[in-house]
């Protein structure tokens, strides 16, 4: 079916997720870290002086990178959680009955200036006793998420883009990333698997109870739940056991609600390409490609074809000044050629255009992927 190309940036993104073939894919690229650093250093280009990120996106014709982070977080009754700062370390202390757990995060001045998170140097759960303490605490815990302002945010974005509701990691991965660390998680799986499996089940119960339906009742058309799936840290056997059933159930509910399911795909995941199809995802956000990982857009497209929207294609490192501009242009031209008159693509960065990047290269994308008005096919 052929029709006039959508006239707004929001409609262009909707068209991609509905399977339309556009002559030129839309661009939706994350520049907030670059922008925040440039403003703090006073290096924002004069032509953009006083502009916000949204202003720059509007000037360049990019779809608004509109992301609403719900930030699901566990809440425990009473005065259980205590936070403090000691120098460049942020300490979160969980005072559970019979056991106190601590998480220590370290952040450099540069990370703080760019609005980036620090590095976790100590995880709360590192042995059987601490795992059992968390499991016991889950009996009275609940999950909270920031969803109240999403409707207003959606109206504010309007025709400039299509907001993405971010729900973070799935339960098993949230345990790995926030409570254990990968190393401790794999130790736990070997040393006390029964308690760990019970803990994962407890997390899944709370996510289903407290997060699923409230998120699905929001106006968000795109919902991202899942991140950093990787060959090394979430390999196929582990993915099939702890991730796949959960994602299949959640993504099915997303589809029943008339929405699209995405995950944050900025890692090396060649062995998982078939499994994310099996999980029922509709889109891969911040999709990493060579030279950042082994796979190219063509590799992903060969496996996923039109079933998963490929949102990415530009490794953030290509914007850095140490990479010759010729290499950047070569990569962009190849991406132009491959995506022209094809469905299932949104041009973006994996993961972000980073602090210190060449702003000229951001501008180059405007000419490489212009917002055109031509025919498209459904």
Domain 2-75+141-377 belongs to what architecture? Alpha-Beta Barrel (3.20)
Its sign, for the CA torsion 56, 324, 33, 23, is positive
pLDDT tens for 187-230 read 999 999 999 999 999 999 999 999 999 999 999 999 999 999 99
Contact 214, 251 (CB under 8 A): no
155: its two tokens: 């109206």
Contact 251, 261 (CB under 8 A): yes
pLDDT tens for 287-308 read 999 999 999 999 999 999 999 9
What pLDDT does 108 receive?
77
Compute, in degrees rounded to 10, the torsion defined by CA atoms 167, 171, 176, 178. 50
Higher pLDDT, 340 or 172: 172
> Of 96, 64, 61, nearest to 77 (Cα)?
96
Domain with CATH 3.20.20.210 in the chain: 2-75+141-377
Checking if the pLDDT of 373 tops 60, the result is no
Burial label for 286, CB within 10 Å (0-12, 13-18, 19+), is buried
Question: Which residue bears the tokens 């790995």?
Answer: 176
Checking if the pLDDT of 113 tops 80, the result is no
Higher pLDDT, 23 or 115: 23
pLDDT tens for 63-100 read 999 999 999 999 999 889 999 988 888 999 999 988 99
21: its two tokens: 């073939």
271: its two tokens: 């062995």
Question: Which residue bears the tokens 């979160």?
Answer: 92
């Amino acid at each position: 079916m052929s029709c006039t190309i959508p006239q707004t940036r929001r409609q262009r993104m909707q068209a991609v997720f509905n399977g339309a073939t556009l002559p030129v894919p839309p661009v939706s690229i994350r520049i907030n870290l670059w922008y925040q650093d440039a403003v703090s250093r006073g290096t924002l280009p004069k032509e953009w002086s006083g502009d916000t990120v949204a202003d720059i996106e509007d000037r360049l014709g990019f779809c608004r990178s509109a992301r609403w982070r719900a930030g699901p977080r566990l809440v425990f009754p009473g005065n259980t959680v205590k936070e403090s700062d000691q120098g460049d370390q942020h300490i979160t202390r969980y005072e559970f009955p019979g056991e106190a757990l601590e998480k220590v995060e370290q952040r450099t001045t540069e990370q703080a200036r760019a609005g980036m998170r620090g590095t976790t140097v100590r995880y709360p759960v590192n042995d059987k006793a601490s795992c059992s303490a968390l499991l016991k605490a889950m009996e009275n815990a609940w999950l909270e998420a920031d969803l109240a302002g999403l409707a207003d945010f959606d109206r504010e974005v309007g025709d400039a883009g299509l907001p993405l509701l971010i729900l973070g990691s799935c339960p098993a991965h949230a345990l790995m990333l926030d409570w254990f660390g990968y190393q401790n998680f794999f130790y736990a799986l070997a040393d006390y698997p029964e308690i760990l499996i019970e803990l994962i089940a407890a997390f899944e119960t709370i996510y289903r109870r407290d997060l699923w339906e409230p998120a699905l009742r929001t106006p968000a058309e795109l919902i991202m739940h899942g991140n950093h799936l990787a060959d090394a840290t979430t390999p196929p056997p582990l993915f099939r056991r702890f991730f796949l059933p959960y994602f299949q159930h959640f993504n099915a509910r997303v589809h029943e609600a008339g929405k699209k399911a995405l995950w944050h795909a900025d890692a090396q995941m060649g062995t998982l390409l078939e499994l994310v199809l099996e999980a029922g995802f509709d889109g891969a956000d911040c999709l990493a490609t060579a030279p950042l990982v082994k796979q190219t857009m063509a590799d992903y497209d060969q496996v996923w074809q039109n079933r998963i929207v490929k949102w990415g294609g530009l490794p953030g490192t290509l914007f850095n000044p140490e990479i010759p501009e010729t290499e950047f242009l070569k990569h962009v031209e190849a991406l132009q050629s491959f995506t022209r008159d094809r469905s299932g693509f949104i041009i973006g960065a994996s993961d972000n255009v980073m602090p210190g990047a060449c702003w000229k290269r951001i501008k180059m994308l405007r000419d490489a992927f212009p917002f055109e008005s031509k025919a498209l096919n459904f």
